[in-house]
Structure 1
């Protein structure tokens, strides 16, 4: 099964090994004709909930964002559209490092994330980076952009693979060079069934 229930919303299972790749996996059937059934980020609630599901935001932040989206639906739609656009550019760049247009789009959001980053310390003195964007509804996108930029700067980028499964195209990290499918239980088994049917 490709999905799980998170706070009453269907979310794609996490199987990619990195939040940036997980964002790309919120669309099903890359390279196939678009359709509403392919979209996991169907509304801003889904985007905010996904960011928590992918461990980019904590539960209180997700709740605040969902409440803010209800107060400002137009701003939430803009933030959702920007996240979807970033998702497409990021996937293109991960699979084609020479795509200059995709790089510019990803780098622009990474710059916004860097500009919104603040070094903070909690009551116990634990220091961490937090994001304080001008528009709080951009928080899921910027958190993902920051994480994706980190991936792009590491050797792990060379281990990104796309599932060849029919109507899939999900991304995952394959550092050992042995993984073919996003998940053997779904895409791998479907391919085995088709191969068996073709032989018989």
Structure 2
């Protein structure tokens, strides 16, 4: 199964290995004909819930964003559209390193996220860069851009792979070079079943059209 239930919504399972890739996995079937049914982020409320699910934002921040979106639906729709555009650009950047236009789109949002971030520390004294909770409805967008930029700045970005499964194309890290499928139990098994069926399917024998078992 490719999904889990989070706050009453079906959310894609987290399998990419890095939060900077998870946004790309909110669309299904990258290589297939676009279809609204492939969309996991169907509205802003789902985007906010997904941001918490992916570990990009805290539960308290998600609750505030959901309430703010109900009060400002037009602004929420704009933030959702921007996030979907970032998702498409990220998918190109990770799979086509030479796509300068896509990289530029990601870089612009990453710069904005970096400018908004503040350095905070906890009781252990360990500091980290965080985005302020008052960042508005674009906070999920900036959090995703920041996470993606962090991955792009490491050698791990060369380990990104796309699942070849039908109606999939999800991205994941493959540090050992041995992983082919997003999930062997789903896409891998489907491919095995399809390959077995293809081997058992009768084949056309010559110009007469006579069919023989394989």
TM-score, normalized by the shorter chain, greater than 0.5: yes
Tell me how many residue pairs correspond in the alignment.
Answer: 200
Per the alignment, residue 94 of structure 2 pairs with 94
Distance in 2, Cα, partners of 1:124 & 1:159: 32
Cα deviation for residue 122 of structure 1 reads 5.3
- Give 1 or 2 for the bigger CA radius of gyration: 2
Do the aligned partners of 1:52 and 1:58 also contact (CA within 8 Å) in 2?
yes
Per the alignment, residue 110 of structure 2 pairs with 110
Structure 1, residues 14-41: CA drift from partner, whole Å, max 9, x if none? Answer: 0110112110000000021111110000
Distance in 2, Cα, partners of 1:120 & 1:20: 21
Note the residue ranges of structure 1 that are not aligned, 5 or more in a row. Answer: none
1:64 aligns with 2:64: yes
Note the residue ranges of structure 2 that are not aligned, 5 or more in a row. Answer: 201-214
1:192 aligns with 2:192: yes
1:174 aligns with 2:174: yes
Cα deviation for residue 127 of structure 1 reads 3.5
Given the superposition, is the C-alpha separation of residues 133 and 5 from structure 1 closer, same or farther in structure 2, using an over 3 Å criterion?
closer
Cα deviation for residue 133 of structure 1 reads 8.0
Per the alignment, residue 82 of structure 1 pairs with 82
**TM-score of the pair, normalised by structure 2:** 0.90
**TM-score of the pair, normalised by structure 1:** 0.96
Cα deviation for residue 180 of structure 1 reads 0.4
Per the alignment, residue 45 of structure 1 pairs with 45
| Root mean square deviation of aligned Cα | 1.5
Do the aligned partners of 1:116 and 1:133 also contact (CA within 8 Å) in 2?
no
2:26 alignment partner, SS class: coil
1:112 alignment partner, SS class: helix
